[in-house]
Amino acid sequence: MKMQNDVVPPSTPLPLQAQFVTITEEEAGQRIDNYLLRICKGVPKSHVYRILRSGEVRVNKGRIDQLYRLVQGDVVRIPPVRIAEKADATHVPAAEFKVIFEDAHLLVIDKPAGVAVHGGSGVSFGVIEQLRASRPDAKFLELVHRLDRDTSGLLLLAKKRSALTNLHEQMRDGHTDKRYLTMVAGDWKNARQHVKLPLHKYTTADGERRVAVQADGLPSHTVFTLLKKFKDFALLEAELKTGRTHQIRVHLSSSGFAILGDDKYGDFALNRMLLKADATRGALKRMFLHAHQITFTHPESGKIMTLNAPLAAECERFLVSLGKPLN
C-alpha cells in the first residue's frame, strides 16, 4: 500500500493513478513547475504545464499556479501521467573527478578541460550526469555554477538544496571571489588592469552560443593582474566582478589580447602554430584558462572558505617551457 509520504524516485515511472507526495526539507524552496519537470521524466513540458493550469495538481488539497514555491511538509497531488520511455536513451558512464573538498553540503571538484559540465547543445552528457551515475544513492546533486567546456579548474556542486540556494544568493550579491589563470598573446603592460565592457549574448545561425561587446549589453567587469611576462606572452590572473558567459575570453579578445588556444575568440593562426612545439616553447593543445581559486562562505557553518586547484598539467608544462619570465 502506498503511504502519503512515499516519494516516487525521479527515475521511476509514475503509475497511472494519482500520487500524494510529501515535500522534504531538500525539496522545499523550488517552484512547483520545476519540481514536476524534474520528477516527471519523459513527460512533455507542455503536458506538465497543462495539468498545472487545469488544477489537476494540488498542494494541500488546494489549487496553485506554476509560480508556487514548495514548503517542507506540503502534500502534493500528482495526477496520473503516462511517461514515454526513450528507446535510444544514451548510456551515461559513471565517472568521478578529482575532489578538492567535500562534506554533507558541498562537493568541489577540479574539472578537466574538454569535459562539459552538463549535457545539451550536441553533448550527450557532462560532469553532472556522470557524477550522478557514479553516486546513485545521492538524494540531491546540482551544479552551483558553470565552467566552459574547454576551461579547467574549480567547479562547485551542492549536495543539499539549501546549500544551492545559499550559494546562488552569495554569487548574485557579489559575495564570492572567483579567480582564473590565463595566458594571452601580446605585450601586456599594466600590473593591474580593470576591463569594463558590456556583453551581449546571442546565438549564431548554426545554433552556437556567442558573446560580443555591445553598448546595450549587460554590465561586465573583470580585473586582470599580471603575474609573469614573457617575450610574446603574459600570464594573468583574472578576477571576476560579474559572472557573464565567456566574460574573461571576450574581455581579453576585445582588448587585443587573445587567450592562447581559444577556438571562439582567439587568434586562430596562432592556435594552429601552438599545436606543435618549436625552439622557444612547448606545444599547447587546449585553451589556457583555468579556474584556480574560489572564496565563499560555507552555507552551513558560515566559515569563509578559500579553495585552490593547481594549474592543469598541460598548461603548467607550456608555462615551464617558456623559461624565465622577463619580470
| From 33, 148, 262, 267, active-site residue | 148
Element (H, E) at 20: strand 19-22
N-term to C-term CA, the chain = 74
- What is the Cα–Cα distance from 269 to 265, expressed in whole angstroms? 12
What is the C-alpha to C-alpha distance for residues 119 and 130, in angstroms, rounded to an integer? Answer: 10
Identify the CATH number of the domain defined by range 19-78. Answer: 3.10.290.10
Do residues 260 and 183 touch, judged by C-beta distance below 8 A?
A: yes
List pLDDT tens digits, range 135-174: 988 889 999 999 999 999 999 999 998 999 999 999 999 9
Residues of the chain with CATH 3.10.290.10: 19-78
C-alpha–C-alpha distance, residues 72 and 158, integer Å: 19
Segments of 152-242 assigned E as strands:
152-158, 177-185, 192-196, 199-203, 209-213, 221-229, 233-240
CA distance 110 to 291: 9
Q: Please, where in the chain does CATH 3.30.70.580 lie?
A: 98-158
Q: What is the CATH number of domain 98-158?
A: 3.30.70.580
The CB-based long-range contact list for 276-279 (8 Å cut-off, 24+ gap) reads 277/321
Q: Kindly give the interhelix angle for 45-53 and 32-39, rounded to the nearest 10 degrees.
A: 130
Confidence of residue 11 (pLDDT cuts 50, 70, 90): very low
Asked which of 72-81, 82-91, 129-138, 210-219 is least confident by mean pLDDT, the reply is: 82-91
C-alpha cell at 123: 553533448
CATH topology (fold) of 174-321: Pseudouridine synthase (3.30.2350)
Residues of each domain in the chain carrying CATH 3.30.2350.10 = 174-321
pLDDT at residue 96 above 70? yes
Helix (H, G, I), strand (E, B) or coil at 315: helix
pLDDT, mean of residues 177-198 = 97
How many residues can be counted in the chain?
Answer: 327
33 as an active site residue: the answer is: no
Helix (H) or strand (E) holding 101: strand 98-102
Read off the C-alpha cell for 140. 540531491
295's enclosing H/E stretch is strand 289-297
Over the stretch 194-236, which tens digit does the pLDDT of each residue have? 999 999 999 888 778 899 999 999 999 999 999 999 999 999 9
Q: What is the pLDDT of residue 101?
A: 97
